[in-house]
Amino acid sequence: MNELFVSLVELIRVTSAEIPADVHRAILHSLEQEKKGTIAESAMKIIDQNIALAKRKSQPICQDTGSIIFYVDCPVGFDQITFEETARDAVKEATKKGFLRQNSVDSLNGKNDGTNVGPGSPVIHFHQHRHNSIEVRLVLKGGGCENVGAQYSLPNEKLKANRDLDGCRKVILDAVLQAQGKGCGPGILGVCIGGDRATGYEYSKQQFLRVLDDSNPMEELDKLEKDITKTANELGIGPMGFGGKTTLLGTKITASNRLPASFFVSISYMCWAYRRQGISLAPAGSLEKWLY
Amino acid sequence: MISLHTPIQESALRTLKVGDAVTISGTIFTGRDAVHKYLHEGGQLPPEVKLQGGVIYHCGPVVMQDATGGYKVTAAGPTTSIREEPYQAAIIKEFGLRGVIGKGGMGEKTLNACKEYGCVYFHAIGGAAQVLAECVKKVRNVYMLEKFGSPEAIWELEVENFPVFVTMDAQGNSLHQSVFNASQAALLDRV
């Protein structure tokens, strides 16, 4: 069988069933933080049990296996067409095996053909580089958390948010307030300051490729990331919005140039069921190593 | 921990309050966006779907079919309930629903219907698809599978000790409203 196909099906299986180690550590930390005997603590216990059970049974952590988003870093001359065809076949196979839910619906007539393959699904982003390695990262992002993403245009009079980092802080925290309960917290924010409406959201999602315990190389953004997480966790929203100590597990922010007329702050929310994995591939497509 | 079995009696339900941890056993029906819109537009359910006095679960499960045609639920966490806010109150009234299971809570219309007609909003843990699938002991039937597709179909499930938390009770209390108000006030102090 085609080695690339086998590797991609395995990538989908592991992404759907196993939470990355950095996220699991953050969840365990948050379980310890919650007050004993509260329903917030009970929620975190169930979440922790669920993580173990999904891995043991090799079944989806969450039934909403989400948008299927591949990020491919590849050398010059890499055959993107074959990759895309193989990825579509791998998605169909993973769906048949139950690693993915039948999750892709025709927006015009509501039909679900059960394959997960169609216009816009899966999403594949290619990025060329000048060395020989091939790295494939996958994010499965559920609809509940996608629905609470938000894009603000500064200035925002209602939130008294001007075109500066303090204005960014205000709208990001407003997004946390508005998302409560709906996005399966504790969550993780991916934010892009700047860009246009499309790239702003795009780059905000790419922040989910970072590990939770990294630091932002830009000092002012690193400071803002830590401040947002800390402040959000003082609001008492808590796991699932039940009230409690952990509202966010982390915040990741990037900045992109903007037009003089535009100042967007785009916020993507990731639920605790943060499904992100990656593999590096040998030239023929066999799996060399896991990236997270 | 409070154990409830379907059909849930109104008297038992009226004593539940926000913050209670509950387990549900018995029969529940899944129903989400497509079903709610369909009912809102006057669509009729197959006669076998006995929602009267029942419990509806906002859920689009992963369901696998074995070689003999039998179904098994392999992942079954809740979906976000607020999308059904325009429709839920009328459905609670029409079918005399005793319970709605979902996540994220619902709005004032649903809260008022819970109080008026005797229904409770049970919050399941979002994303906990495996823990909750373990509680699904049997798929009794499926309805409207062809029309709505697997995640949106009506799955009749037999559940055992399905863990939920009361976040909107039949006395007019909503945990979601109180947490929102408190967190909004806390945020105002910090911006």
Q: pLDDT (tens digit, 9 = 90+) per residue, A90-125?
A: 999 999 999 999 999 999 999 999 999 999 999 999
Rounded Cα distance between A136 and A125, Å, is: 10
What is the spatial distance between Cα B137 and Cα A46, in angstroms, rounded to a whole number?
19
pLDDT of residue A45: 98
Domains plus CATH for chain A? 3-15+61-142+275-290 (3.30.1330), 144-270 (no CATH)
Which amino acid is present at A14? V
**Nearest residue of B to residue A141 by CA position?**
B127
Going along chain A, which residue ranges are E strands?
Answer: 67-75, 123-129, 134-141, 150-153, 187-194, 248-256, 264-270, 275-281, 287-290
Q: Least CB-CB distance to A271: which of B59, B123, B126? A: B126
CA distance B105 to B111: 9
Residues lower than pLDDT 50 in chain A: none
Question: Chain B residues with CB inside 8 Å of A242's CB?
Answer: 123, 165, 167, 175, 179
Both structure tokens of A251: 């915040």
Stretch (H or E) spanning A229: helix A219-232
Cβ atoms of A240 and A228 closer than 8 Å:
no
pLDDT of amino acid A16: 98
pLDDT in 10s for each residue of chain B, 191 residues = 999 999 999 999 999 999 999 999 999 999 999 999 999 999 999 999 999 999 999 999 999 999 999 999 999 999 999 999 999 999 999 999 999 999 999 999 999 999 999 999 999 999 999 999 999 999 999 999 999 999 999 999 999 999 999 999 999 999 999 999 999 999 999 99
Q: Rounded CA gap, A44 and A28, in Å?
A: 8
| The pLDDT value given to residue A154 | 98
* pLDDT score of A264: 98
3-state helix, strand, coil split of chain B in percent (to 5) is: 30, 30, 35
Optimal mutation site among A64, A178, A234, interface B, most CBs of chain B within 10 A: A64
Q: With an 8 Å Cβ cutoff, are A184 and B126 in contact?
A: yes
Query: What per-residue confidence (pLDDT) applies to A237?
Result: 98
Query: Does the model's ipTM exceed the 0.90 cut?
Result: yes
Which residue of A36, A62, A63 is the best one to mutate when testing the B interface, meaning the one whose CB has the most B CBs within 10 A? A63
Nearest by CB to residue B183, choosing from A182, A235, A240, is: A235
Task: Find out whether B89 and B113 touch, Cβ atoms under 8 Å.
Answer: yes
| pLDDT value for A1 | 61
- Put simply, the answer to whether A271 touches B127 (Cβ < 8 Å) is yes
Residues 59-118 of B with CB under 8 A from A: 59-62, 64, 74-77, 79-80, 82, 103-105
User: Do residues B126 and B102 touch, judged by C-beta distance below 8 A?
Assistant: no
Q: Do B183 and A169 touch (CB under 8 A)?
A: no
Locate the domains of chain B by residue range. 2-188
**Active-site residue numbers of B?**
36
Domain B2-188 falls under CATH 3.20.130.10 = yes
CA distances from A103 to A20, A63, A96, B8, B152 (A): 22, 10, 12, 32, 10
For residues A220 and A165, the answer to whether their CB atoms sit within 8 Å is: yes
C-alpha distance from residue A235 to each of A74, A244, B23 (Å)? 43, 9, 29
How confident is the model over B43-93, as pLDDT tens digits? 999 999 999 999 999 999 999 999 999 999 999 999 999 999 999 999 999
